[in-house]
Every structure is written in C-alpha cells, then in structure tokens.
Structure 1
Amino acid sequence: MNTFPEARVCPPDRRMPALALLSLLQFLIAVDVTVVNVALPTIGGQFHAPTASLSWVVTGYTLVGGGLLLLGGRVTDLLGRRRMFLLGAALFALASLAAGLAPDLPTLIGARFAQGAGEALASPAAMSLIALLFPEPRERAKALGIWGGISASGLVAGVLLSGVITELLHWRWIFGINVPLAALVLLITPRLVPADGPRVRTERLDLPGAVLLTAGPLSLVYGVLESAPWAIAAGALLLIAFVAVEARTKHPLVPLSFFAHRTRAVANAVTILLSAALSTAFFLLTLYMQDVLSLGPLRAGLAFLPFCAVLLLVITQVPRLIGAIGVKHTALVGLALTAAGLAWLARLPDEGAYAVDVLPGMVGVAAGMGVGLLALQNAALQGVGEHDAGTAAGVQRSVDQLGGSLGLAVLVGVAVGDAGVDGFRTAFLYALIGVVAAAVGLLLAARDEAAPDS
C-alpha cells in the first residue's frame, strides 16, 4: 500500500514527465561540477589569478553544496519538497547569472558558493520527490537509475561543453546556459509536480550543525591544498563538534539514530570511498590526456564519450540487476568493476596511448560508477517514509559530494607531491585501496546481517 500522500495525488501519466524535469535540473547541477575545469586557465588569465585561488572555483561549489545538503534535506521534510525544489532551482539560476557576469574572481567564487547552496536545496528535494512518486521498489530503482544516469552524464558533458564553449564563445557562457534551462524548470514544475500540503514548522532548524558541516570540510580541503596543518586540525575539530552538536541538539540535521538502520549506514559509508575514487579518476584522467597525451581541450572532452556511452548502457541494466541479485550484491559488482578500472589506471605509463592505457581503465570506472552509485543510492533510501525521505536523500547526496571533494583534495595532493605520471599512478593506487576497503566493509556488513542471532 502506498503510504505517501504526495505520490497518490500525482496522476500516473505525469510521473515520467515530472521525472524528466527533475532530471534536467540535476543534469545542470552535475554539469557545473566539471564545466569549469577546461576553462580555468582562461578565467585565470582574465582575472590574473594564481592556480591556488582558481581551485576554489571548482571545490567551493561541491563543498558548500555537500556541506548544506543535510540542511536542505531537513528543510525539504519540514517545508515541502516542491517548494524547496523550486527555491533551489531559482537560487541556482540566479547564482549562475551572477557567475556569468562576475567582474572579478572573488565575485565568481561567491557565485559558485551560491550555486552550491541552490544545489543543496534542489537535489535532496528532487531525490525525495522521486522516492515518493515511485514508491514501489522496482519502479523506484528504475526512476533513480534514470535520474542518476542523467546526472552522471552531466559530469562528462561538462568537460565537453567547457572546451566547446570556451573555444567557440566565451567562458562566461558556461554559466549563462544554465539560466534559460533553469527558468524552464521553474515554469513547468508547478504543472507536473503536485503541490505540497500545508506545512506547519514545529521544529527549529539546526543552523549550528549546518555551519559546522560546511566549515569543517572547507577547512580540511584548505589545509590539504595549502599544506597547512593548523587548518587540517581545525577541520577535524569542527567535524567532531558537528557530531557533538547533533548528539545534543533537540532537532538535529540528521538524528544519529538515523544511522541505526544498518543498510543505510553502510551504504553511505561506502559511498564516501567510492565517490573519492571516482572524482579522482575523472580529474586525473583529464590532466593525463591533456598534459601527457597532448590532447587539446576539445579532443580531451571527446575522449570521454566512451565513458558516457558505457555509463548510460550500464545504468539501463541496474534495475534488472538489483531485481536479480539484490541491492548489496549489485553494489559489490559496481565496486569490483571500479577496482578493475583503477588497477588498470594505476599502471599508466609515462608515454602512453589512449586506446591501450586509458580507455580500458576508463570503461571499468564508468561501469563501476553506473552500477555502484545507483545501487548505493537505492540502499541509502531503504525504509524511508514521509517523515525522513528528504533527510535520507540529503545524507546520501552529502556523503557523495563531500566524499568526492575531500578524496579529490587528498589524492590529487598525493599526485602533485610526486613527480610527473608517478604521482598519477600513486593516486590511482590509493584510490584502488579505498575501493577495496569499501568492498570488504560491505561484505562484512552483509555477512553480519545475514548471520542468525546467536
């Protein structure tokens, strides 16, 4: 029986168009994770900015988004999913416009922070709307597969679009294209997605928790990128303080009891390590193809097309795989495929060839990403209801974002610390170790859960 009122009032013939609309905004959000990479040298030249400052144009977006996602998920549960989706889409559109018109680097970085805040509202709202609009496990897995596949494709499309737009138009248009498409989402969503019921906010929002969860990772990444031990220590203390606040506050962002659900807790922990490996592989492959294989920005973007094709193909099979072997075993298949791809990339030669040295590892990582992340998304939403769907979605998206950002900072720091391609190989090896550890942890958790009570 369907226990979600919002799903009951949505006519069946509107659910797929609504899913397409939710996925469109998520595609734009994902595009903006990678769309600035190729354009960074041009932006730095115009603003006369050093590389260290430019890095915040990339990491600031994902760190602020990831840090505020739990708050976004909680606000979604309290104030309404459609309301928060529309508010997040509007903030994302306005911030994109500000980024495209930015007169200097600080303004651009501030606009990127605001884009992240828009994502923090829109993404968990969209994910929880999907969970409620498609309450049956099989159809939910299929819907999340479509949403996740479009989102993942946005990461690849961002690289290609960045090269094309920067070369043929101007870097400012990498942000400008968001505005009309986000406006389209704002106009059509009220026609397809049912209105929220009346909401009475009876709980106070945990703003201290949101601040600590955002400031902690920002401090950690700053410490890693700038080799500042004090910032790393401060970031660790801020995250410890976050746990303490969540344990004592009356209305936490996410009750610690939320993680008492074994499947959801393990899924989120594994997501951190898998996202760290995937973000690192994506970033380092881009550098390897441009710096070592001497591919131009446009050719490097085109070189990711097989990645995108494999990802989309695999995603279409994930619901069937989940139905056949279950969510946990599907996640293990994804981790195994990712590990195989990383193992291949950990042997990148100093003078390699795309077809032999890059493509096989890229295909493995793409297949592992499609299978692993979608299975973990489904596991992270197991057992959710009307009262905590937004929180569950916010937690899953937050660990995905923060895991990817922190892992990227640490592993890219390793790569930069070693000379040349040697650093790339070391970073891929450490990413491989992380994924293997995640698989072992998932295996042990599944075995413990399956064991009879003693």
Structure 2
Amino acid sequence: MTRTDGRRQAALVVLCAAVFLDSMDLSLMGVALPAIGGDLSLPESTLQWLMSGYAVAYGGFLLLGGRIADLFGRRRVFLLALAVFAAASLAGGLLSAGWPLVVTRVVKGVAAALTAPAALSLITTTFAEGPQRNRALGVYSLAGATGYTSGLIASGLLTEISWRLVFFLPVPVALLVLAVAPLVLPRDPQTPAAREGFDAAGAVAVTGGVLLSVFALTEKSWPAGVVAVLLLGAFVVIERRRPAPLVPLEVFRSGTVGAANLAALAWACATIGWQFVAVLYLQQVLGHTALATGLGIVPMGLAIVITANLAGRLISRWGLGRVAAAGMLVQGAGILLFLRAGATGDYVTMLLPALIVHGIGNGLSFPSLNVAAVAGLPDERQGLASGLVTSAVQIGAGIGVAVSAVVMTLGDSVLAGYRLAFLVAGGFSLLGAFIAYSGLRARHAASTTTTA
C-alpha cells in the first residue's frame, strides 16, 4: 500500500466515524428517554422532541448542507459542523431542563445535516469512480447502519449508570475525529465556488414548516399548524421560482423518485414511531431496565443486517416494488404483533418473535426504497436523489414519533394508549406497502418501457 493509499484509507475511517456518530445519536436517545423523563419530570410530549427535534432538523437542512459544503469547502464545513456537534453534545450532558435539552438536539441535527453531505462528498472526490469508490461507499453505508444499532445497545448500557453519559458519549469520539481529520482529509480548492443558487430561503421554509407541524401535533396548537401549512406552501413557491432551487420539483416526475420518497416517509413514521413507543412500553409497563431493553433489541438489529444482505438478490429476482412492499408488510406485521402486549409479557414467546419479524421486514424494505429513490436518474441527479430520500426518512422519523406521542394520550388507559400507538405505527407501514407496490412497480415498468 502506497502512502497515498494509506492516507485515503485513514480519511475513509475518519469520515465513517462521523456518519457513525450521526446515526448513533438518533438511536442513543431511544432507550434513555424514560430515565431522562423520570429524573427531570418531563412529559412525553417533551421527551419525543429529544428524538423529533434532531431528526427533523437533520432532514430539513440536509440538502442545504450539501450545497453549503460545495460553496464554502467540504473539509472546512465538515470540521466546523463536527465541532458544533461535539459542543452541543457536551452542553446536553450538563443541562437539567427539558427545552434547553431539546435545543441542543436541534443544534446537533443541523450540525449532522452539514457533516453528512460534506463527508459523502469528500469520499466521492477522494476515491476514483469505479470499484474503489463503490467499496468506500459500501463501508460508509455500513458505518451508518452499525451506528444506529450500536446506539441502541450503548444507550442501554450507559443509562444504567447515568443518562447524562448518553449525551457525553459522542464528545470524545468527535474530538478524536477533529484531531485526526486535518491530517488526512484533502484540502479544499483555493478557487471558491460560485455563490448563486444558495437557497437558504427554501431550506428555512421547509424545515420551519415541518418543525411547526410536529409542534402543532404534540401541543395541539392550530395556529402553529396554520403557519406550518403556509411555510410548506411558501417552500413550493420558492422552489418553482428560483433558478437554482434546493429541490428541483421536476425530479419527482422521473422514475420512481416520488413514490420512493413517500414510501420512505411512511417507513420512517412506522419504524421510528414504533421504536419510541416500544421502548417506553418495555420500561414503563413491563419494568425492563435500560440495559435489558438495549440488549433485548439486539436480535432485531441482527435480523436487519442479515436480511439487508439478501435484499439485492431478491430485488434482482422480484423487482423493487414487490420487495419493498413485502418488506413493509412484514415490518408492519412485526409492529402489529405488539398488539398482543399486555401488562405482563414473556420476552421469548411474545416480544422476540415481533422484534425478529420487524427486523426482517426492515432489512428488506429500506435497501429497496434507497435503490428506487435513485433509479433512472442521470449521474448529476444522484446526489440530490440520495439527499432527498435521507431527508424523507429523517423527517418521517420526527413526524412518526410526534404522532405516536399524541396517540398514546388518547387511550382510556395507559395500556390502551400503547396499543393505539402500535396500531397507528402498523398503519403507517401498511400505507408505505401500498405506495411501494403501486407506485414503484408502475413507474418502474413505465421507465423500463420508455428506455427500451
């Protein structure tokens, strides 16, 4: 291995560590929420913002984050955003009030929205197109998936000691990356990029609209809902009129992009909303410790990893629409199996089958939706399409958690509230299956016919 190759590999490790952090930070909150709520006397409407605030800010600013990295330098933006991420993590571990904690999570979501596209762009510019880049992107994707699963496990281990460690954990990792990154990442070009097309207005409109939508749901505030609708409408108007919009709306007319993003939104509403409710159920109703909850979710993570490795073969044989729809149906079945849950429940006979079934469906559907989101688009649209589906997942996560938190309050008993939330999460998954089966199959067939 040459010195240049060694530096590239070191750069890949650094960039993968950053996406590992971004993914881990969403799942870290899951198992720790009951402990945070109990210690600080926070209602569930505030607790859900610790997940929703991060996810919605991440998804809303992700596309703008890629544009900022192009304009101001990928290396510079990566380092600055990671430093903000570390500072917000440290502040979160020191605070003892609900809404200031939420603010740190929103700040971290914005920082992650800048870090992730900068890291991805650094990989695509560091590794030549072909096998080298494909291997690098495969490692990068694996780092994200591993980060999410590791966050669930680490959350259980750390919460047993103190929930504050969940906030502190990313700090030393981020500082280590910040120390090594300047030594291995390529310097930004001296010639600045053209500054036209900096669509901050579009990003602020869409992110503000989604954030206010979540706020309107959780706080039952119709004025916030009205403002949210106005902001989302303004976003569409802005994107239509700008010469270089954040999201060119015509991209949704090509291939499977529109259906894939809608299905991905429903997928995240289902799986992340269900996770929020399931963790609360395991700890608050069944009395599981945080450690037992984290370790109990491990079989689901293994099922996801194993099934995701088989998804490519199944897609080649059955097609995107069928595999994505089947995965969403199986995932929904796993969620609906939680309707059997009562005030007591045996892990092996009741919970474990539901977790494994959910993991299998998750592992089938998520890769299929990601492939469908970029299918049939030219190379210059691939980055945009990848950013769109990631944004759809993050925004869906925020909405799913918010809806689940509201539904839990509608039952005439605590257990009835949990069952209603499981039913709604399962409904989101079935909706995603319908969108995937009808939209992805029909549009993919049309695209194939046109190409032929």
What TM bracket, shorter-length normalisation? 0.7 to 0.9
2:428 aligned with 1:431, yes or no? yes
In the alignment, which residue of structure 2 is the partner of 1:195? 187
Residues 1:347 and 1:436: Cα distance change in structure 2 (over 3 Å): farther
Give per-residue Cα distances to partners, 1:97-121, cap 9 Å, x unaligned: 2222335444322222211111010
> Match for residue 59 of structure 1?
52
CA contact (8 A) 1:142 1:319 kept: no
Aligned to 1:7: none
Question: 384, 392, 403: which is aligned to 1:399?
Answer: 392
1:208 corresponding residue in structure 2: 201
| Contact kept? 2:338, 2:354, Cα under 8 Å | yes
CA distance in 1, matches of 2:107, 2:320: 35
Would the alpha carbon gap of residues 428 and 109 (structure 1) be closer, same or farther in structure 2, given more than 3 Å must change? closer
Q: Which SS does the other structure have where 2:256 is aligned? A: helix
User: Which range moves more in the overlay, 212-221 or 389-398?
Assistant: 389-398
**Deviation at residue 246 of structure 1 after TM alignment:** 1.0
The Cα shift of 1:296 comes to 1.6
Between 1:90-99 and 1:73-82, the stretch displaced more is: 73-82
Aligned to 1:442: 440
Identity score, percent: 34
TM-score normalised by structure 2 residue count: 0.86
Which stretches in structure 2 are left out of the alignment for 5+ residues? none
CA distance in 2, matches of 1:78, 1:213: 21
Tell me how far apart the structure 2 counterparts of residues 74 and 339 of structure 1 sit (CA, whole Å). 36
What per-residue deviation string (whole Å, max 9, x for no partner) do you get for residues 65-121 of structure 1?
A: 222112112223333433332232222112112222335444322222211111010
**Is 1:147 matched up with 2:140?**
yes
CA distance in 2, matches of 1:422, 1:340: 14
Q: When the two structures are aligned, how many residues end up with a matched partner?
A: 444
Distance, in Å, in 2 between the alignment partners of 1:323 and 1:136 is 23
- Identify the residue that residue 77 of structure 1 maps to in structure 2: 70
- For 2:360 and 2:10, the matched residues in 1 are separated by 27
CA contact (8 A) 2:27 2:151 kept: yes
- The alignment partner of 2:69 has SS state of helix
Is 1:172 the equivalent of 2:138?
no
Is the 2:266–2:429 Cα contact (8 Å) retained in structure 1? Answer: no
Q: Does 1:314 align with 2:312?
A: no
Q: Mark the CA change 1:298 to 1:88 in structure 2 (over 3 Å): closer, same or farther.
A: same
Residues 1:97 and 2:97 are matched in the alignment? no
What's the offset of the Cα at 1:333? 5.2
Structure 1 gap ranges (5+): 1-9
Query: Partner of 1:26 in structure 2?
Result: 19
Deviation, 1:223, is: 1.3
Q: In structure 2, give the amino acid aligned to 1:402.
A: I
Task: Call closer, same or farther: CA 1:407–1:338 in 2, change over 3 Å.
Answer: same
Look up the match of 1:264. 257
**1:3 match:** none
Match of 2:112 among 116, 119, 125: 119
Asked if the contact 2:63/2:387 (under 8 Å) is kept, the reply is yes
Equivalents in 2 of 1:407, 1:273: separation in Å? 8
Seen in structure 2, the aligned counterparts of structure 1 residues 360 and 137 have a Cα distance that, compared at 3 Å, is farther
Residue 453 to residue 297, structure 1, CA distance change in 2 (3 Å): closer
CA distance in 2, matches of 1:355, 1:334: 23
Separation in 1 of the partners of 2:228 and 2:285? Answer: 34
Deviations along 1:208-237, whole A, 9 cap, x unmatched? 212111111111111111222332232222
How high is the TM-score relative to the length of structure 1? Answer: 0.85
Do the aligned residues in 1 keep the contact of 2:30 with 2:155 (CA within 8 Å)? Answer: yes
Query: What amino acid sits opposite 1:163 in the alignment?
Result: G
Q: What is the CA distance between 1:45 and its match in structure 2? A: 5.1
User: Structure 1 residue 311: deviation in Å?
Assistant: 2.3
